[in-house]
A and B are shown apart, each in its own frame.
Chain A
């Protein structure tokens, strides 16, 4: 099983084979090739260890205003030819598309590093050695560890008959650990281009400490509380806000932000922006459709300043099309607290939340969402964590919660199970609606 991914030269030749062969008016070739290795452990032993090599070629063709798309994963001439013929046959059967768009033309992409050789070359035994030290730490603290260590390398290429050309090679590595001690649990998660930057030992210590502190949780009633949300929990609120930046639904009126362009939507000390070239994030120079990812504000000092226009909506509104918002940073312009501990010290009574889980829309017209706290929910009294709490369900909207911020840190790495990596502050929020309690 070779893990040498497809080179740029080979991609060029595969793409030109497809462009040459197709008789369609317009052709777009998207090529992906990747290798990923995942070591998964639970109860302090390996439960799964997988290594996958996978490629995919997507051929999208248009005949007149009709489009068809075929996907193949075998890099034989026969399979690629079949994909071209299949896409063309589909395009001929498709109805004329009133919203038809030609494939994208040439683009300019920002150049920033996306690849780490250490991640690309990590072998199964290297991963096992890293995890061994994590398991040792768990065992020596009577903690039950479950987690994952992943390293991935990807190649993406795009070519169109309209002279679009894009190629990138990127890596990512992920470590996470849920440690349990008796009835307490603690969680950490990290993601980085470079597997050597995951700090798995330091993070394992944090998870085990949290597990120890989470034991014997008390049950306190549901209600509106002052909360301190760690950056991972803040991600749960930022996600729906980012999804609401779409211009198409904005202009159809099916978006909570509809009609609010140039209005204040959140606290004036907060700025939401994309920063794909930020080395701490996992930004890419271009999106799946070939549009460039660029730095820029979406919400500037609380005011909604920009929407994300897909190509069709951009045409209809004479706006510029941009890639979907990614590589998100949320800046706090006030005097920033130095750390989560500093926020705790300045809190008379409140609840510290490590992470939210299973976050879902409840009311899309005002962005109300729900979810549960998980793996580290603590009571704060007089500037100190005094004990663990049963987990809560919450009902909140970022449009409400981000107007009740009383203190925050500078942006920090925020990696969760449900969102892409972002840079977000830890926040102290008043009147946060913890609507019910669960049994643990």
Chain B
């Protein structure tokens, strides 16, 4: 997961948005203010996003690709709607509702890819964009060594809908604003809190996928998320604490169940408590990590290195490669026998659980690490054939109509063990319990990592003690997972997800969920990162 600042690029690549489209409203117009030229019909597109016509428009693209005898082609027509409510310091800082609609057309011609995206929903617009994609593929074909071959996939005709109880877009905005302002007020009630932030987020994607092979899949996908945090300022600096509502494929019911009002006093208290907390001496500690924290650890140290495109060098110029090279598949000991990491894109509520990926491949469940042994990759139809796998794992996704599908981390989760949190702590003489996500950084092959957290407590002789701060641990991926000697049971399991996993050029924001129960890691290196410490 990366965050970058290229502002222009971000606009071009990552607008979000999409919903109930209006079609050809007849709005009265009056004289222009800025320009005195007469307004002409050409200023406005005539045809809007009419979803009833999508299969027909898709046929226009598919027909043109078949005519040039493309090896393969597909089109995704998408309308996305994103709503964000952001509160800061007792007030609403941002209220936005975005609709973003368009289509991406991908063509494989003579073993080379072309992709073009546009947003004019007319047969002419589709034709022009398809022809441009074909022109781009012809340019690519001049630069191929081996060429692309796709793994086989059955033809699918299906419809996918995210189950939900409450549609977040039907919840009145004033109710959402009131919830966040009330949460903020409760945070600021605590003396010492200087800053607060809260947000609610929802996205709906309506998508139609069609391929030259005959697949036609209709999607109605929903996701929600939110959270809040507070920063306390004291004589010696400032500290923050956060509450995260996971990004999941479900409705507003998760906001209603989360009880922001009830959580806020604890978050505020802990931010203030953290100001006075001790920084542990650098050294070796046993760590007990909570599910929210592990979601990030799993993402960075297991999710990314098990993307096959990275292992094959596709991301060498940007996100990086992987220490899990194909020669290690089925051979490398990645962790202890307690460590089974399973990719599950069929998991309920998981962000990558979309029924089918953007290659039109059915979502699946498969092992990444099986009882400590490296067992599998996340793949696409393109990269699966490069290592002789007969079928894609179906983990190839694009972040919008304007982006090309790429291999993405699946919903990779840590399989539950048989312990309880108390049991994990009871066997620790000198350790630290870490909750939530903090600073993170990892090398481009995913060996040398470093993680912080949101909250920390010392563990002394089997008991949880006082709060700590400035805890940063560092390790080498296979050594760290080899030191895992216990995982809590299924009752402790929670899902946390990401919608900002940066990968690809132009960069795309990937979505996936990582479920885990608490787990224990022996003898980890905690380094000094406090004021005057590291520097």
A-to-B contact residues, CB < 8 Å: 1-2, 9-10, 12-17, 19-21, 32, 34, 36-56, 67-83, 86-87, 90-91, 93-95, 97-99, 124-125, 127-128, 131-132, 135, 144, 146-148, 150, 152, 154, 159, 165, 170, 172, 176-178, 180, 185, 187, 239, 252-254, 288, 357-366, 368, 370-372, 374, 391, 393, 395-397, 400, 417-420, 433, 435-440
- 19 example contacts (A-B, Cβ-Cβ < 8 A) are as follows A20-B29, A38-B506, A45-B147, A47-B314, A49-B113, A49-B139, A50-B136, A79-B99, A81-B22, A82-B22, A94-B173, A97-B91, A124-B114, A165-B34, A254-B194, A362-B534, A370-B439, A391-B448, A440-B447
Whether B233 pairs with A55 at a CB distance below 8 angstroms is no
Whether A439 pairs with B445 at a CB distance below 8 angstroms is yes
Choose among A55, A76, A146, A420 the residue with the greatest number of B CB atoms under 10 Å from its CB: A76
Whether B312 pairs with A45 at a CB distance below 8 angstroms is no
Q: Which listed residue (B31, B119, B529) contacts A53, Cβ 8 A?
A: B119
Whether B535 pairs with A396 at a CB distance below 8 angstroms is yes
- B474 interface residue per 8 A CB criterion: yes
Known: A36-B506, A374-B444, A418-B4. A393 touches B27 (CB 8 A): no
B-to-A contact residues, CB < 8 Å: 2, 4-9, 11-13, 15, 17, 21-27, 29-35, 37, 39-40, 43-49, 90-92, 94-102, 112-119, 121, 125, 128-129, 131-133, 135-140, 142-147, 172-174, 177-178, 181, 194-195, 231, 233, 237-238, 312-318, 320, 323, 402-404, 406, 439-445, 447-448, 450, 452, 470, 472, 474, 476, 504-506, 527, 529-535
Whether B119 pairs with A50 at a CB distance below 8 angstroms is no
A436 nearest CB across to chain B (Å): 6
Whether A86 pairs with B117 at a CB distance below 8 angstroms is no
Whether A94 pairs with B476 at a CB distance below 8 angstroms is no
Choose among A20, A77, A144, A146 the residue with the greatest number of B CB atoms under 10 Å from its CB: A77
Whether B115 pairs with A76 at a CB distance below 8 angstroms is no
Whether A359 pairs with B535 at a CB distance below 8 angstroms is no
Whether A372 pairs with B448 at a CB distance below 8 angstroms is yes
Known: A362-B534, A417-B4, A420-B5. A43 touches B145 (CB 8 A): yes
Known: A54-B15, A68-B95, A69-B97. A370 touches B143 (CB 8 A): no
A284 nearest CB across to chain B (Å): 9
Specify the chain B residue showing the minimal Cβ separation from A98.
B91
Known: A82-B25, A132-B142, A393-B448. A46 touches B17 (CB 8 A): no
- Roughly how many angstroms separate A16 CA and B30 CA in the complex, as a whole number? 9
A419 nearest CB across to chain B (Å): 6
B205 nearest CB across to chain A (Å): 14
Q: Which listed residue (A14, A152, A395, A417) contacts B534, Cβ 8 A?
A: A395
Specify the chain B residue showing the minimal Cβ separation from A38.
B506
- Roughly how many angstroms separate A187 CA and B320 CA in the complex, as a whole number? 12
Q: List residues of chain A with CB within 8 A of the CB of B114.
A: 49, 124
Specify the chain A residue showing the minimal Cβ separation from B112.
A46
Q: Which listed residue (B12, B116, B139, B535) contacts A368, Cβ 8 A?
A: B535
Q: List residues of chain B with CB within 8 A of the CB of A135.
A: 143
Known: A370-B450, A435-B527, A439-B476. A73 touches B15 (CB 8 A): yes
- Roughly how many angstroms separate A439 CA and B45 CA in the complex, as a whole number? 56
Q: List residues of chain A with CB within 8 A of the CB of B145.
A: 43-45
Q: List residues of chain A with CB within 8 A of the CB of B4.
A: 417-418
- Roughly how many angstroms separate A193 CA and B24 CA in the complex, as a whole number? 38
Q: List residues of chain A with CB within 8 A of the CB of B39.
A: 13, 16-17
Whether A435 pairs with B534 at a CB distance below 8 angstroms is yes
Whether B444 pairs with A372 at a CB distance below 8 angstroms is yes
Whether B91 pairs with A99 at a CB distance below 8 angstroms is yes
Whether A38 pairs with B505 at a CB distance below 8 angstroms is yes
Specify the chain B residue showing the minimal Cβ separation from A40.
B505
A59 nearest CB across to chain B (Å): 10
Report the 3 A-B pairs with minimum CB-CB distance, sorted nearest first.
A78-B25, A71-B98, A438-B448
Q: List residues of chain B with CB within 8 A of the CB of A132.
A: 142-143
Specify the chain A residue showing the minimal Cβ separation from B452.
A362
Whether B12 pairs with A124 at a CB distance below 8 angstroms is no
Q: List residues of chain B with CB within 8 A of the CB of A370.
A: 439, 441, 450
- Roughly how many angstroms separate A1 CA and B314 CA in the complex, as a whole number? 28
- Roughly how many angstroms separate A420 CA and B6 CA in the complex, as a whole number? 6
Q: Which listed residue (B43, B97, B137, B452) contacts A13, Cβ 8 A?
A: B43
Q: List residues of chain A with CB within 8 A of the CB of B178.
A: 95
Whether A372 pairs with B441 at a CB distance below 8 angstroms is yes
Q: List residues of chain B with CB within 8 A of the CB of A41.
A: 143
Whether A128 pairs with B143 at a CB distance below 8 angstroms is yes
Whether B317 pairs with A128 at a CB distance below 8 angstroms is no
Known: A36-B506, A366-B532. A77 touches B101 (CB 8 A): no
